[in-house]
Structure 1
């Protein structure tokens, strides 16, 4: 189950991050303005640290699994911790560190490869590729969350629709929800959002000497 959840999360997040079809003409003006505010705010930060929950639920199968992760971002560089695995991107190479197996995989980043996971776009993936429609307003833990429906322009896209929840006061992302045809509901919920934090100078640098007994698999 652990490996299935990890695979499902990475697949889902990869799908969420990479749809780009240059659409905005049919969006609601209110939803478009809100999305623009969110994007402007995120892009203005020097760096961002996020803690999140990944929730997979299927009521028909009586399945509910939740795991937590963290993500640090600065420009295109990132440090992702999820399900016992660390992924680091230093701007050129991606390092996937698996302590359980004492293994590290190193690969070059190819921006033209749509199958590569890029958490650096986790908070901005919706900038292009969607029509925006205003949805419900809900109170969550004393916060007003405005939901915006994302609708893919391309009728053959793997993910046709999703909901993004936005805190009306902070203009930060609260959560992202995708419901699949098989009854599975996937939610990525931001539990902590810390912008402009003091980061160590080597946070996004890989130091091989820290892993003397690890097997290093260099793919490129």
Structure 2
């Protein structure tokens, strides 16, 4: 266990030293950001995998995400997260409970509706290589936070080399957890009303409301 912790610390240090504001990475990231900003709203099927080699954790979930501007709705088997840009609802079907909180734009939590813009503030970025990810030729880019005490010490992005869409991104935290999101079945031609990005209590009778605001 001690050796694993030392190895993790060494890896974090090596990443911090090597990371920079790489112009080649910036060119790819800017093209990717421009692509998503031009889309009014989109839906995508996603897979979410949580792994921790030390703790022998390997969990996978599949779901769907809908994004419109600053708003998003992420539906996973065990929970649904809805964000209208000011309020966040986290619905837990098995517990029949919904937690309500204010959305904090300054939070270190990675907002799925802003993953294409995250590199613009508080991150260094480094182009690593062209690499095939999920059968697609991608540009592998690492984002490293400028703050040493940030929640995640690295975010790895795979950007489709041909059309600059996001193939996947993985967040690495200091506890050894890796959170990987992979996008599939991307649909950029959706029309979604703003009311979709709010939790309607009338549709969920008997659900307990936990207001954390």
Classify the TM-score, shorter chain. Answer: 0.7 to 0.9
Residue 138 (structure 2) aligns with: 145
Structure 2's unaligned 5+ residue stretches are 1-19
The change in CA–CA distance for 1:84 and 1:33 in structure 2 (over 3 A counts) is same
The change in CA–CA distance for 1:161 and 1:93 in structure 2 (over 3 A counts) is closer
Tell me the distance in 1 between the aligned counterparts of 2:140 and 2:206: 47
Question: SS state of the match for residue 155, structure 1?
Answer: coil
Tell me the distance in 2 between the aligned counterparts of 1:181 and 1:90: 30
Match of 1:53 among 44, 47, 51: 47
Matches within 5 A, 1:12-91: 26-59=20-53, 61-91=55-85
Tell me the distance in 1 between the aligned counterparts of 2:88 and 2:171: 27
Matches within 5 A, 1:71-220: 71-112=65-106, 114=107, 118-179=111-172, 184-200=177-193, 202-220=195-213
Question: For the Cα contact (< 8 Å) 2:153–2:173, is it kept in 1?
Answer: no
Question: SS state of the match for residue 105, structure 2?
Answer: coil
- 1:113-169 CA distance string (max 9 Å, x none): x26664332332222222221112112344211101212223333433332110011
The change in CA–CA distance for 1:184 and 1:104 in structure 2 (over 3 A counts) is closer
Question: For the Cα contact (< 8 Å) 1:90–1:206, is it kept in 2?
Answer: no
Tell me the distance in 2 between the aligned counterparts of 1:129 and 1:213: 42
Question: SS state of the match for residue 43, structure 2?
Answer: strand
Structure 1's unaligned 5+ residue stretches are 1-25
Number of paired residues? 194
